Amino acid sequence: MKAGTALEQAAANYDDVFDASFERILGMGAYNPGFISDFYADFLAASPFVRERFAHTDMSAQRTMLHDSLLMLLEFNRTRSPGTHLRRLAEVHSRRGQDIPPEFYDLWLESLVKAVAMHDPEFSPDVELAWRLALAPGITFMGFCY
């Protein structure tokens, strides 16, 4: 195990670690254009499949939607009950819609974690794990609806 990894440290409450990082990047849920556009630059560069799927998309509209969908994933983490919007988002990405195989959500999450690293001045292994844990349930839900 590398020095300074999450497992070596005293147990953190990852919900608290997440909330503090979220607040630093998207304080009170405010839109952070730099964070969102750095995420998309990395995500589009991650795979030709991703670039091809977004070839005809208005990316400025997409950026605003990402912010809202992030909140949907986080709400699902809190409530464990998928609301209308998350169910619709899962349907849009499923075989019936954009046909995004679940393994591509890994690329999405890697790009998001990189954007968090760039935009959270207090980024650390615990912060990274906190984001992965907070988003995992919503991503699992979306992939399961494929």
Instruction: Provide the binding-site residues for ligand HEM, judged by CB under 6 A.
Output: 50, 53-54, 57, 65-66, 69, 73, 89, 92-93, 98, 100, 104-105, 108, 139, 142
Write down the least CB distance from residue 55 to ligand HEM, Å: 9
Residue number, 50 or 118, with CB nearest to ligand HEM: 50
30 sits in which H/E element: none
Residue number, 124 or 146, with CB nearest to ligand HEM: 146
The radius of gyration of the chain from alpha carbons, rounded to an integer in Å, stands at 15
Residue nearest to ligand HEM (CB): 57
Angle between helices 125-144 and 104-119 (to 10 degrees): 150
Write down the least CB distance from residue 80 to ligand HEM, Å: 16
Residue number, 51 or 122, with CB nearest to ligand HEM: 51
φ/ψ bin of 126: left (φ > 0), alpha (ψ from -120 to 50), beta (otherwise): alpha
Write down the least CB distance from residue 109 to ligand HEM, Å: 7
**Closest C-alpha among 104, 107, 109 to residue 94:** 104
Residue number, 36 or 142, with CB nearest to ligand HEM: 142
Amino acid type, 116: V
- Report the C-alpha gap between 61 and 50 in whole angstroms: 17
